[in-house]
Each structure stands twice: as structure tokens, then as C-alpha cells.
Amino acid sequence: MNLTEIDIEAIVRTRMGEKSRFVPRFVFAWLKRLIHQDFINEYLRQGREGVDFCQGVIEYLGVTVDVEGKENLPAQDMGYCTFVSNHPLGAIDGVTLGAVLGKHYEGKIKYLVNDFLMNLKGLAPLCVPVNKIGNQARNLPEMVERIFSGENHVIMFPAGLCSRRTNGVVSDLPWQKTFVIKSRQHHHDVVPIHFYGENSSRFYRVANFCKRFRLPNFAMALLPDEMYRSRGKHYRVVIGKPIPWETFDKSRTPMKWAEFVKQEVYKL
């Protein structure tokens, strides 16, 4: 699907197939309220796409952002880069980086994103979808290779999921090594970014509950509501100095280099 508007019932029925007939109608009504379907669709009807879509989301939500370290952004003639960030919010942080970096690099950016986001027609042009389950999982290496070998800068959240709260501290889950391996392979310097922000306490409680009892990640269903709650908020983004791709040598494993970059992000 490539939707101008979101219909959560249609999406669920498509994904669940025949099993969806067992879902009561009130559940779909609850889901529509939970994700603020009408609020989202009011924006989607504006028809904005690409970087303009990202900028429009910020404006629609009334979010303000201070960006520090713009002088660290490599010049356009310096080759393509991999921009890696912590992922504290799961939504507004992504579109904010799309707006900031997309404007600076004249739209030459791509995200690796959950394939669910491909349902948003306006965001789809910037995205390469990732689904780690199902048939698409077999094609994941090819899709990652495609984004790094293309003529775009790459935006990644190496934790995969948004941050969690542990012992009162909000921080990313362990970072995956893909960005290290592919940045080295394709000679992408890595630019660290620290996005300052937190979700609601409810989000972290649900996420930790699911982890504790080994349940599916139901916290993801709360992300549209977290984005809705970000209306009128102010965020801070700090861009660090690029890390040359040659840094990622064999003195450490790719996983340890990923952890190194993560720590550099949190120092910003």
C-alpha cells in the first residue's frame, strides 16, 4: 500500500489476512483513537512529499528545534556519509533529522526504516524499507547494500528500536554493526548525532513490561500517540565531527566499533 491517508483497519486486515475476521470492531475503533488517525490524515491530505513532508510534520506539530554543530556537516563534494543517531523518540526525531539533513543536502538522503512507514506516501520517497521477519528478511542484505551503494547520504538509527528507560536512565539499546561494516566498505565517513528528548513514562512502562514477560513489542503501537504528545515541544540536536571511515580498522570488532560510536554520540 502507498496511502494518501491512513486506514489502520485496512492495514491490519491486510497484514493479518483471514485471521483479521476475529478482531472485534471496537478494537479497530480503539486503534484509530490510539494512533490519532483523523489528526494524521488531516496532515497527509496536504500532499507534501520527501524532505518537504518532514519539514511539514515539524510545522504541523508546532515543534521547535535547536541544531548545534551544523559546521560539522561535511561539504557536498566530500562524498556520501552515514549519519547515525540515538533514537529517543521513535518518530519526531526521525522526521527532524530528515528535515535538517535533507535541506542541507538538497534531498539526497535515504533512511533505513521499518517497512510499516512505507504506508506513508509522503515519506516513502526517502525510505528503504526493512522487515526482519517474513519473506523480505531474506532480501535484507541486498536492500542494505542498495542504500549504501546509491547516490545518497544514509540516515540510520543503529539501535533499531527507540530508546528504553533502565534504572531511571533513558538510553538506546545496543547498536548494531551494519553501519560500521557498510560505511567502511563504501568509504562513508560517519557523522554522530545526539538527539535530546524522551517519551512519556507510560511508553517506557509498556516497553519494559513487554521485555520482562517476553511479549511482542506493543510499545510500537504507542509511537503515534507519543508523536501527538510532542506538539509544541522544543528539542535539541547536536551534530558531532565526522569520524573518517578509515577509523574502523581491525583493531576492534565491528560490534565494538559500533559501541564506540554510540558512546561518542552520548558525549555530545
> Is the pLDDT assigned to residue 3 strictly greater than 80?
no
- Per-residue pLDDT tens for 89-118? 999 999 999 999 999 999 999 998 776 676
Helices (H), 177-253: 178-185, 201-212, 223-229
E strands in the chain: 64-68, 81-85, 109-114, 127-130, 153-156, 164-166, 169-171, 189-196, 234-239
> Is the pLDDT assigned to residue 133 strictly greater than 70?
no
Going along the chain from its start, the domains and CATH numbers come out as 46-267 (3.40.1130.10)
Confirm if 65 and 234 have CB atoms less than 8 A apart: yes
Residue 248's SS3 state is: coil
133 secondary structure, DSSP code? S
Provide the pLDDT for residue 1.
41
Provide the pLDDT for residue 14.
86
> Is the pLDDT assigned to residue 21 strictly greater than 90?
no
Provide the pLDDT for residue 116.
67
Helices (H), 67-122: 92-104
> Is the pLDDT assigned to residue 135 strictly greater than 60?
no
Report the Cα 4 to chain-centroid distance in Å: 20
> Is the pLDDT assigned to residue 197 strictly greater than 70?
yes
Bridge partners of residue 84, in order along the sequence? 156, 192
- Per-residue pLDDT tens for 44-66? 999 999 999 999 999 999 999 99
CA distance 9 to 20: 9
- Per-residue pLDDT tens for 148-175? 999 999 999 999 899 999 999 999 999 9
Q: Which amino acid, one-letter code, is at 36?
A: H
pLDDT band at 136 (very low <50, low <70, confident <90, very high): low
Position with higher pLDDT, 12 vs 226: 226
pLDDT band at 20 (very low <50, low <70, confident <90, very high): confident
CA distance 128 to 114: 9
Confirm if 210 and 218 have CB atoms less than 8 A apart: yes
Residue 30 grid cell: 480503539
Confirm if 235 and 195 have CB atoms less than 8 A apart: yes
Q: Which amino acid, one-letter code, is at 110?
A: K
- For helices 50-61 and 92-104, what crossing angle results, to 10°? 130
Q: For all residues of the chain together, what is the average pLDDT?
A: 91
How many CB atoms neighbour CB 164 within 10 A? 19
Share of the chain above pLDDT 70, in %: 93
pLDDT band at 17 (very low <50, low <70, confident <90, very high): confident
Using CA of residue 120, residue 149, residue 256, residue 213, what is the dihedral sign? Answer: positive
Beta strand 153-156 pairing with 81-85: parallel
- Per-residue pLDDT tens for 204-244? 999 999 999 989 888 988 999 999 999 999 999 999 999 99
Q: Which amino acid, one-letter code, is at 175?
A: W
- Mean predicted confidence (pLDDT) in 178-183: 96
